[in-house]
Structure 1
Amino acid sequence: MSPTRVLTLTTGILSLTKSDDELAVVVGHELAHAVAGHAREDHLTGKHDKLLLLPWLPAVLAGQALARLAACFDPIVHLPAFVLTSPAQAIVYWKLRKSRVQEREADYMSLMLMCEAGYDPAAAITHWVEMDARAQEHFSKLQAKYGRGNVLPVNEWNLTHPHPSTRIAEIQTLVPKVRAMVEHGKRLQQEDSLASADPDQKDNRRFASWLAFLRAREEGAK
């Protein structure tokens, strides 16, 4: 989903979807990013990151210069280079972590969107199992081409997205919870008892309110 809320599906991702339910996984995930306002969050935090980095900019530039010297002359220079560039590295790793949190949030919201629309949220599990298999296959091909010692797995903390295996484990625990929340939210709406719902059902009441908001917006667009 682009910042202008244009949803683009490639033929590559479509080839990985074997059913309407799996297609709903992909579409729901991107719609969830838009509903959650992740693009706006990234835009605002991007400005803050620049302001945070500005006082450290001379040190970071000096560290980058030392890193280039270390590559040409003495590896010991890497230590001061690392220290000088550490503020920039900290911001990068913070942004990577934030991106992974957004992906997990979009996964969770997409399951709710799928349930509400009548699709099977369990399709998210089969979709990510397939994605994990494709990733492992691609990784094996790279190792065969360049050698096992030259192609190593990337740690999740270095990625913008969680590993497929991480997503599979999380979605497996979320699917039954989401199904229960959707059904409870629908019942609250049907019974018109949202205001008097059990305080322990905070998530369910929040989700029922969210459904009511989406439906009202849809009615207004007609």
Structure 2
Amino acid sequence: MKKIVLLIIIFLAFIINIQAQFEYKPDTTNLHCISQFEKAKEDFSNKTFVLKFQKSYDYTKTHKKIIENYGIQIEASRIYINNCYDYKIIELLNEKHGFNFIEHTKNEAKELDKNSSESNLAVSNTKEKDSISDPIGYIKKESIGGKLDYGKILIGYGAHNAQYKAYLYSIWIWTSHVKELGITRRKKIIKLWEEIHERKMTTDEKNVIKYGIKIKK
């Protein structure tokens, strides 16, 4: 029995590996596939679909979060078989946003993780060496065009609504690093942000600092 289960797992892994190497092309003449296309269109229109795709080795929590910021439910799995429904959902997303949705959001996640890692390293190193004698000055210097400028990853984003939600996410990341530098009081963080950007924060922006990244869809 164990051998049979093992063989099935190996077979599935082989199939998944093969399908990952080739671009999936659905049979548009197949009646079942056509019905799945129509179902996908209906669910997409009603915003009741779940985005499903094969989880790659570089899939991260950041990638998942960025997709969720578009108001999309997501299921990424190592064991995944291509099908007409999911193919159509991804195609509709690509058409709506004007780019390869999964690849684009994955690249955005990589850039965000890269910037976050660099900033974490910088904060960690400077804490160890106790070299930041003026955290406020450091934050002001690095928040626009520097190591703490997470808004810059939004260049090239598609739909305005998704871009806005990702922008709020960048404020949340910025806030976490400001706290690591010892600025923990919410009012002080808000005041600091307003001084840097020379304007008052909106209610949405303040809520990110006060309550985290619980953004309404």
What TM-score does the superposition give when structure 2 sets the normalisation length?
Answer: 0.29
* Structure with the larger helix share: 1
- Greater relative contact order structure (CA < 8 Å, 6+ sep): 1
What TM-score does the superposition give when structure 1 sets the normalisation length?
Answer: 0.28
* Structure with the larger strand share: 2
